[in-house]
Chains A and B, each alone.
Chain A
Amino acid sequence: MRAAMAVIALFLLISIAFPLYALLEKSFQNAQGEFIGLTNYITYLTTPALSWSIGNSFKVTLLASAIVMVIAFIYAYALTRSCMPYKSIFKGVALVPILMPSLLPAISLVFFFGNQGIIKEWLFGAELYGPIGIVMGEVFYVFPHVMTIMLISMSLSDARLYEASEVLGASKMKTFFTVTLPSMRYGLVSAFFVAFTLIITDFGVPKVVGGQYNVLATDVYKQVVGRHDFQMGAVVAMALLVPAAFAFIADRIVQRKQVALLSARAVPFQPKPNKTFDMLMLIYCCLIGFIILSVLVMAAYSSVVQFWPYNLSLTTKHYNFDLMDGGGWSSYFNSIELAVWTAIFGTAIVFFGAYLVEKSRGFKTGRTAMQALCMVPMAVPGLVLGLAYVFFFNHPSNPLGFLYHTMPILVICTITHFYTVSHLSAVTALKQMDPEFEAVSQSLKAPFYKTFWRVTVPVCSPAILDISMYLFVNAMTTVSAVVFLYSSDTTLASVAVLNMDDAGDQSPAAAMGMMIVCTAAGVRLLHMLLTRGIQSRTQAWRKR
């Protein structure tokens, strides 16, 4: 068991700890690889063209976070506290943005508000490219994440508190401020930190609609891909890592406090019908749902239009990817390959790793260290991770250098990028199992791997499916981590969207984006059917 743990720990060291160290080291070196102390950092901070992007990043991030918090709050409130109809449809619609790489909504925004956008007058002459576009795109991109967190924290409320408040004669307003808000304060804080981290580290939206408005994420890309200044790239990456890591740590602290908030005796809240309120909420959700779907529909529409905006007749020519830059159809199939490998190996590594951390006895220092290591990837923005991989795996003296520019390195990087969330779902599922299973099997002289196969894996199969689907969808949509790591043999669909958009081919970019959306949606559907199938077959014991 210790040997197995050592293998997983080694994987995490190679996939996250060593590359991050290589990145840190690089930021203190000059182009010749000599140690030059803080010189790079000083240059960075004293070059206004570079350091401005710190302020820019914080401005758009805080603004977009604030806006998305309000929009998502009301949406989640409508779903939990009103009696409006079609709640499950609205829940589904809110999750649509998850299926898109963040480049795609940004491209959609260009067709709406860009120089040739159909409703660009709605911006009253203001320019889409810049902070306005970034904020709009980011709000769309992080909406499902923020909304989900709020939904969960709102559904964790105790009806008894509301009854007590009502019996004591408190007004609706007072109840809202004394019961509703306090009970979800951790959820709100958590939602904010998640929004903050996702936005400040997002690369897709500012890349497409950022224009001349530089933010940290686009700076890393520009320094490395545009100017081949790896040292400065490393410095900007460090500047991006710090706020992301802080937000992550703050979020963990807050979440730890939330655990004991709701007692087991709490009674879930059931909303009572109220015609006016329910109608208002329905209108609101329709509006937001309409916006979300129109962004998707615009992306789909623009991908089948002859020549926007002059010839609006329909065509499939933009799906002829082989005629365009970006790697053609093979990048789509590469993406599928990446997603499949990531889902298979990622799920295996993550679940087994979580099992070892959660269920083994003794060797406490080792387990604590591994638990900490599992949390690191969440704090590391994709761009930073990708760049760190360049430095680590491309180093001439690294014996693992043969992985560079191959499919395996993309798989390793993607698994690592999404390791923490998967790890946490696995841990949650494992925690729900009786802690004495391992003790019992030891007393029955069963080796641990036997109980793992015969009991742990079957019981956790729904969670295992969830993890593999999460990894698959994210491997399809991610751009940031892999953008530094693909080679001409391993071009990816999401990167193709980026490159085609860069080359001005917005319609083909949208077309490739739609391929990703359809694949992700298809996999979600498959996952739903599979879960149902597994539940009826291997989870028969759940029924009484």
Chain B
Amino acid sequence: MASENIEPYLKITDITKKFGEFTALKNISLDIFEKEFVCFLGPSGCGKTTLLRAIAGLDIQTHGKVFQKGRDISELPPAARDFGIVFQSYALFPNLTVRRNVAYGLENQKLPKKETERRVTELLELVGLPDQGDKFPAQLSGGQQQRVALARALATEPGLLLLDEPLSALDAKVRTHLRHEIKELQSKIGITTIMVTHDQEEALTMADRIVVMNNGVIEQVGSPYEIYSEPASPFVADFIGTTNFIVAELVTAKSARIGTIDISLGAAPSESVPGSKIVLCIRPENVLTGSRASGAGNQMEMTIDHVEFLGSFHRVHTAAINGPGTELMVDVSVARAREIDMAVGNKIQLALPADLTNVYPAGNN
């Protein structure tokens, strides 16, 4: 969806935000395109909410610029910008009925009363609550309240929808359901959307593009698939999904040594010279075992330390045979588990496919 020659809908250039001595955002630049669903993903305190609030104008950045549709909105107060927002806490006005909550923004547009009422009905239908209009927020479930908040944010037909951890306060089942609904609604009305979340599953399932943040900087921007399969840094690899980290020494541009075992690499980081320390990252599900391992390259023999059963697969924790050092997690499907004896202490043959192993210079994580 992101293309180089289209004008971005929202352009963020070199934003820095300081709270006293603390720098929450460091020189953030980012382009977001029309109708795109972008997730800001990162651990708490990484600056994702600060960035969202800067875009909304709720906490104006220390320096840097924000352009919406080419218009410079950097210094504008929230009321002069064009967006709708939904918070984790719903922030529904408790003393107003659902209808009055949804109508709140419309009333400020001085629409005729009939038009307002028609629009409210339409919105409540859109979020699937056509007959809940006369209840108070406290009489609805959490999921229903969040839908009302969504209807309220969409009522004034803003060009940009901001979602601040909208699903975090809900329980797991409702969350999964609403995740799907929000995504569907977004593509139906085609509104440019930014969602802040710390939940990687949410980001992976909903976003067109994910912006992974850490310590006030952007670690990586990419599609969910890119982020998962080619993490730009050990941090991203670690934050999204589960990853094995193996410290190794670079031997040539295409090979490395783990302890006493030599393995070949797909590509080495350009800044690392032979002899320097590197980190190899490989996901547990990409490590080959059993019959698939024999015959593959980069083989190593490990001892089974313990096994976790996780429903559809087993996660086998293995350790290097000769004493402490490298540890590896391997996911073994239930089907494959039948052909391997996974008793603790047994030896297990593994292989690390070079093309699924990402390599980073050591020391930056």
Query: CA A541 – CA B162 in complex, angstroms?
Result: 27
**Interface of B (DSSP majority class):** loop
Q: Are A455 and B93 in contact, CB atoms less than 8 angstroms apart?
A: yes
The reply on A439 being an interface residue by CB < 8 A is yes
Contacts of B95 in A (CB 8 A): 455, 458-459, 538-539, 541
**CA separation between A541 and B95, bound complex, in Å?**
6
The verdict on A263 contacting chain B, using a C-beta distance below 8 Å, is no
* Residue of B78, B90, B138, B153 touching A442 (CB-CB under 8 A): B78
By a CB distance below 8 angstroms, the chain B residues around A541 are 94-96, 136-139
Residues in B with CB closer than 8 Å to A542 are: 94, 138
B42 proximal to A (CB < 8 A): no
Instruction: Answer whether A442 and B58 are a contact pair too, CB < 8 Å, given A434-B89, A437-B93, A458-B95.
Output: yes
Residue of B nearest to A439 (CB): B58
Q: Which of B79-87, B120-128, B177-185, B209-217 contacts A (4 or more CB under 8 A)?
A: B79-87
Tell me if B56 counts as interface (CB < 8 A to partner A): yes
One digit per residue, 1 when the CB lies within 8 angstroms of any chain A CB and 0 when it does not, for chain B 146-187 equals: 000000110110100010000000000000000000000000
Identify which of B107, B109, B155 gathers the most chain A CB atoms within 10 Å of its CB.
B107
Hey, which chain A residues are within 8 Å of B104, CB to CB?
441, 444, 446
Among A437, A439, A445, A544, point to the contact of B108 (Cβ < 8 A): A445
- Interface residue? A440 (CB, 8 A): yes
Option from B59, B91, B94 in Cβ contact (under 8 Å) with A436: B91
Q: Which of B57, B96, B153, B155 contacts A455 (CB 8 A)?
A: B96
Q: Taking the complex as formed, is B222 at the interface, i.e. its CB lies under 8 A from any CB of chain A?
A: no
Residues of chain B lying within 8 A (CB to CB) of residue A441: 104
A426-451 vs B: 1/0 string, CB under 8 Å? 00000000101101111111110011
**A455 to B152 alpha-carbon distance, docked (Å):** 15
User: Are B85 and A439 neighbours in the complex by a CB distance under 8 Å?
Assistant: yes
Chain A proximity of B57: nearest CB distance (Å): 8
Whether B91 pairs with A443 at a CB distance below 8 angstroms is: no
B158 partner residues in chain A, CB cutoff 8 A? 443
Residue numbers in A under 8 Å from B107 (CB-CB): 446
Contact B93 A454 (CB under 8 A): yes
CA gap between A440 and B137 in the complex, in Å: 15
CB interface residues, A 440-479, toward B, < 8 Å: 440-447, 450-451, 454-455, 458-459
Interchain CB contact under 8 A, B89 and A436: yes
Query: Chain B: interface residue count, which band?
Result: 35 or more
Q: Are B79 and A442 closer than 8 Å at their CB atoms?
A: yes
Task: Name the distance in Å between B155's Cβ and chain A's nearest Cβ.
Answer: 8
Q: How far, in angstroms, from A436 to B169 measured CA to CA in the complex?
A: 15
Asked whether A36 is an interface residue with its Cβ less than 8 Å from the other chain, the reply is no
How far does the Cβ of A461 sit from chain B's closest Cβ, in whole Å? 9
Cα(A241)–Cα(B95), bound, Å: 44
Complex alpha-carbon distance, A542 and B136, angstroms: 9
Q: Does A167 contact B (CB under 8 A)?
A: no
* Contacting residues, chain A, for B56 (C-beta < 8 A): 439, 443
Q: What residue of chain B has the Cβ atom nearest to residue A540's Cβ?
A: B136
A440, B136: Cβ atoms under 8 Å? Answer: no
Give the CA-CA distance A446 to B79 in the complex, in Å. Answer: 8
Nearest A residue (CB) for B77: A442
A434 partner residues in chain B, CB cutoff 8 A: 87, 89-91
Distance in angstroms between the alpha carbons of A362 and B58 in the assembled complex: 9
- A436 and B108 within 8 A (CB): no
B105 within 8 A of A: yes
User: Taking the complex as formed, is A160 at the interface, i.e. its CB lies under 8 A from any CB of chain B?
Assistant: no
Interchain CB contact (< 8 A) of A443 among B59, B60, B83, B90: B83
Query: Could you give, for residues 34-63 of chain B, a 1 whenever the CB lies within 8 Å of some chain A CB and a 0 otherwise?
Result: 000000000000000000000011111000
B46 to chain A, nearest CB (A): 20
Chain A residue at smallest Cβ distance from B60: A362
A445 and B77 alpha carbons, distance in the complex (Å):
10
Report the separation of the CA atoms of residues A439 and B52 in the bound assembly, to the nearest whole angstrom.
Answer: 12
CB-CB contacts of A510-544 with B at 8 A, as 1s and 0s? 00000000000000000000000000001111111
What residues of A have a CB within 8 angstroms of the CB of B93 in the complex?
437, 451, 454-455, 459
Q: What A residues does B85 contact at CB under 8 A?
A: 439-440, 443
A446 touches B94 (CB 8 A): no
Q: Which residues of B contact A443 (CB under 8 A)?
A: 56, 78-79, 81, 83-85, 105, 153, 158, 162
8 residue pairs bridging A and B, Cβ less than 8 Å apart: A440-B85, A441-B104, A442-B58, A444-B156, A446-B108, A454-B96, A541-B137, A541-B139
| Known contacts A439-B78, A440-B91, A443-B85, then 20 further A-B pairs from the complex at CB < 8 Å, ordered by chain A residue | A362-B60, A436-B87, A439-B58, A441-B104, A442-B78, A443-B56, A443-B79, A443-B162, A444-B84, A444-B105, A445-B79, A446-B104, A450-B108, A454-B96, A455-B96, A459-B93, A459-B95, A540-B136, A541-B96, A541-B138
Nearest 7 CB-CB pairs, A to B?
A: A444-B105, A541-B136, A436-B91, A442-B78, A436-B87, A455-B93, A458-B95
